[in-house]
Amino acid sequence: MKISAQPERELMNMDFSGQIAIVTGATKGIGLAVTQSFIDAGASVIGIYGVDAQAAERVKQDLEAGERLRLIQCDVSDYNQVKKLYDDIEHEYEFIDILVSNAGIRRDSVLAMMPYEDWQRVIDVNLTGSFAMAKHAVMLMMKKKYGRIIFITSPMSYLGFAGQANYSASKAGQIGMMRSLSKETAKRKITVNCVSPGFIETDLIANLTEDQVRQYKTMVPLKRFGKPKEVADAVLFLSGKNSAYITGSVLEINGGI
């Protein structure tokens, strides 16, 4: 069989011109890197942030994306806020192409001493927030019979660190939800996957002590923490048309853990 040569840009088309992406947790860390990468690739981004309006304003100024970046404050754990968000999006845009459910928090404590409020808040933001965002995204994607949904999960979903029972449970839940949703939406040409970053240089691990940093780096075969842009590259791949046959999968970005 003869294989014809094609330009690299055709083999890996990362042009998102005309597409609309929703990114939660869009103003910091991995979410910011994803937002910037989509903007650079021609997409319009609806960036969702929680409470830090000043950070959102800085991002708006720094990215200089004009009308292709809209930042909206929304608590993804509040179902009514998410519903209103999508009602407004449907009114203005009619449909969306991509959802990156990235918003996440940690409130670490050994389980026996963990306050119920810390357990519930992590589950509400990380897992219930992903459910609410995906539920409404699917309804808009079905209009176009096309879509890409990506949950940002974690190796803690299966490794489990002491003091992270709530976080690990929320991330494992995302993977289970993704596998079920991918089967429900496949006939509509909506793919659903997870990206699972390991130790990435973001605010989420900024409170680690020097001893913890040294210890965790020894766990990583590549002997370093990852960069947010390296995660964003994986997200864009799964968001593109070249990934049409990938669904129900977890892509690990963890340096070999």
* DSSP one-letter code for 15: -
**How big is the chain, counted in residues?**
257
* Closest residue by Cα to residue 35 from 64, 69, 83: 69
- DSSP state letters, 192-246: EEEEEE-SBSSGGGTT--HHHHHHHHHHSTT-SPBPHHHHHHHHHHHHSGGGTT-
Q: Measure the N-to-C terminal CA separation of the chain; round to a whole number of Å.
A: 39
Separation in Å, CA 239 to CA 33, 116, 151, 187, 243: 14, 36, 11, 17, 7
Catalytic residue among 93, 167, 216, 245: 167
Active site residue 146: no
CA-based radius of gyration for the chain: 18
> How far, in Å, CA of 4 to CA of 24, rounded?
40
Residues that are catalytic: 167
